[in-house]
């Protein structure tokens, strides 16, 4: 019984983390969109900052999927 409560507590905490990481990912997406719009008018299409932002966004998307899997496992 105690293990079930522990798993439920872990699932709740993990679900909260999913929400927090997803909020961070959404902020990165918005930043990337603004950056992309800003450089669209520039002469140079290569933007290492934008590439880095996209990589971070993909990393957070992967983290969200892993956290969601952990939530399912804890339930």
Q: Does residue 45 surpass a pLDDT of 70?
A: no
Q: Does residue 46 surpass a pLDDT of 80?
A: no
pLDDT in tens, 48-72: 999 999 999 999 999 999 999 999 9
The pTM score is: 0.84
Judging by beta carbons within 10 Å of its beta carbon (0-12, 13-18, 19+), is residue 63 exposed, middle or buried?
A: middle
- Helix axis angle, 2-40 to 48-74, nearest 10°: 160
Confidence of residue 16 (pLDDT cuts 50, 70, 90): very high
Q: Does residue 42 surpass a pLDDT of 70?
A: no
């Amino acid at each position: 019984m105690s293990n079930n409560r522990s798993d439920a507590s872990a699932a709740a905490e993990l679900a909260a983390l999913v929400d927090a990481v997803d909020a961070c990912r959404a902020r990165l997406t918005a930043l990337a969109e603004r950056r992309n719009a800003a450089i669209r008018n520039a002469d140079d299409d290569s933007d290492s900052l934008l590439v880095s932002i996209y990589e971070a966004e993909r990393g957070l998307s992967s983290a969200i999927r892993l956290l969601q899997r952990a939530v399912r496992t804890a339930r």
